[in-house]
Structure 1
């Protein structure tokens, strides 16, 4: 019997359109001989299923079911493609766990932890994971530019702590630009992280649970046309993404093992994509995405195809692992 799969897409953040692109790719590539896929838009004001004729049918949030043309549909699994809240920060995971509905990403604790850049690097440091030097700041606290620069140096990056797709990030080159960058970051979140600049090759490593084993996918090298891998570079073609990365076999092994170590130590599930920069010839961890982009232009699908895994197999394996 075919399984009913809810493809959760949208979300409440600035990333909702990106998420819908990802969700539509999953919808297109699921094996119809095994699954009945449904596009579930989870938006701040309403949750609904979009039928093939574009008619919206509201989701019953008390049990995550939908009634379409008089037929009640319950879901065997949720394929989570939401970037940002509530799908990447643990809220959706916790809700589905309470309902007993399997979903394809990590658990609610891991999602909340990895969505919080500051907490994540604090947890990983005891495992020997190298990161940039960082400075934490909360909204309402007094900003001391001299103190910040003394710790992290210039240039540095000012980031919203809990935001994705490079929203709220500024590269600061001089002290006068620090306060405006802090204000920009606080538009996205009430916590920010200020990091030292790491000069070197930036790479991305997808890790998936595939056929019961933790698998590191081929490494992608990222070359941004802009100052860094920002929104334009990620989604508007302002970057080169080279898979496999033009790094040595030793560097490839180092960064893949680091990504697998993080996946294992955090007890992850589903797909992750971790970003690193080779600074002084050593891999420094930047961040982890637990609902990485799955559109045709996204990095993880590129890596999957380079590994010889079709998107149909990749997505189907995620569903079977979750169930």
Structure 2
């Protein structure tokens, strides 16, 4: 008997369109002979399943069920393909845990922690994880440009604390441009993190639980055609993503060690993708994504392909681990 799988996509943030693309790829590649696949769209106004006739059927939020042709459909597992809130920040994970439905992403606390860049870096620093110098601002705080520059230097990066896909990020070269960059970040979140510029090789490392074991995927080197790995570089082809990365065996071993350490220390589940920059041969952590992009062009699927893991195998493994 087929298992009913809900593939949730969309969400409430600027990343919703990217999430829909990831969700569509997951639904396309899951084995239809094993699973009854239901793409579920999550928006601020409604949660719904769109059938082949274009009819939108609302989800019953009391138990996350559907009623189709007078038949109640319950889900054995939820595949989480939502980037940003509420899929990547722990809200949906907590909801599914409360109503007892297995899901493919990490637990709610880990999701909330990794989604909050400031808290994540603070938790990992005692474990010897290197990262950039940082400065924090909340909406309503006074902006002391002189103090910011004294701590993080120039150029620096101004980022929304809880946002992905490079929304709300700016690289700032002049002290006078800081306030403008901060306002741009506040359009995405009410918390800001300002980080020192790290010059070096940027890499991305995927880690997942595969066939019951923690597996580090081949490393991807990021070479942006732009000033940094911004939205256009990530999604509009303005970058090179080289897998495997052009790094030494020593650097590769360091990355594998630190990426798997982060996965274990944080007690992650499912997929993760961590970003680093090598400075003086030491990998400095930028962020950890627990719901990374899953389109054919996305970095994690590229890494899986290098490890001879097909998209079908990659996606089925997440369901298998969630049901385990």
Q: TM-score, normalised by structure 2?
A: 0.99
Matched with 1:219 is 219
- Whole-Å Cα distance in 1 between the matches of residues 161 and 271 of structure 2? 21
- Whole-Å Cα distance in 2 between the matches of residues 17 and 171 of structure 1? 24
1:125-144 alignment runs, 5 A limit = 125-144=125-144
Count of equivalent residues: 323
Cα deviation code 1:301-323 (max 9, x no counterpart): 00001100111111111101101
- Whole-Å Cα distance in 2 between the matches of residues 243 and 6 of structure 1? 31
1:261-276 alignment runs, 5 A limit = 261-276=261-276
Deviation at 1:292, TM superposition (A): 0.2
- Whole-Å Cα distance in 2 between the matches of residues 233 and 103 of structure 1? 31
Gaps of 5+ in 1: none
SS at match of 2:222: strand
Matched with 1:37 is 37
SS at match of 1:60: coil
1:143-162 alignment runs, 5 A limit = 143-162=143-162
Matched with 2:21 is 21
Gaps of 5+ in 2: none
Deviation at 1:59, TM superposition (A): 0.5
SS at match of 1:5: strand
Cα deviation code 1:89-121 (max 9, x no counterpart): 000000000000000000000000000000000
1:226-241 alignment runs, 5 A limit = 226-241=226-241
Deviation at 1:53, TM superposition (A): 3.1
Q: Indicate whether 1:316 and 2:282 are aligned.
A: no
Cα deviation code 1:110-153 (max 9, x no counterpart): 00000000000000001000000000111111111111100000
- Whole-Å Cα distance in 2 between the matches of residues 314 and 53 of structure 1? 30
Q: TM-score, normalised by structure 1?
A: 0.99
- Where has structure 1 moved over 6 Å in runs of 4 or more? none
Q: Indicate whether 1:102 and 2:91 are aligned.
A: no
Matched with 1:180 is 180
- Whole-Å Cα distance in 2 between the matches of residues 176 and 229 of structure 1? 23
Deviation at 1:54, TM superposition (A): 2.8
- Whole-Å Cα distance in 1 between the matches of residues 177 and 195 of structure 2? 15
Matched with 2:79 is 79
Cα deviation code 1:252-274 (max 9, x no counterpart): 11112111100000000000000
Deviation at 1:15, TM superposition (A): 0.5
- Whole-Å Cα distance in 1 between the matches of residues 69 and 220 of structure 2? 45
- Whole-Å Cα distance in 1 between the matches of residues 89 and 54 of structure 2? 29
- Whole-Å Cα distance in 1 between the matches of residues 199 and 293 of structure 2? 25
User: How big is the alpha-carbon RMSD for the aligned residues of Structure 1 and Structure 2?
Assistant: 0.7
Matched with 2:247 is 247
Cα deviation code 1:273-316 (max 9, x no counterpart): 00000112210000000000001110000000110011111111
Deviation at 1:52, TM superposition (A): 2.7
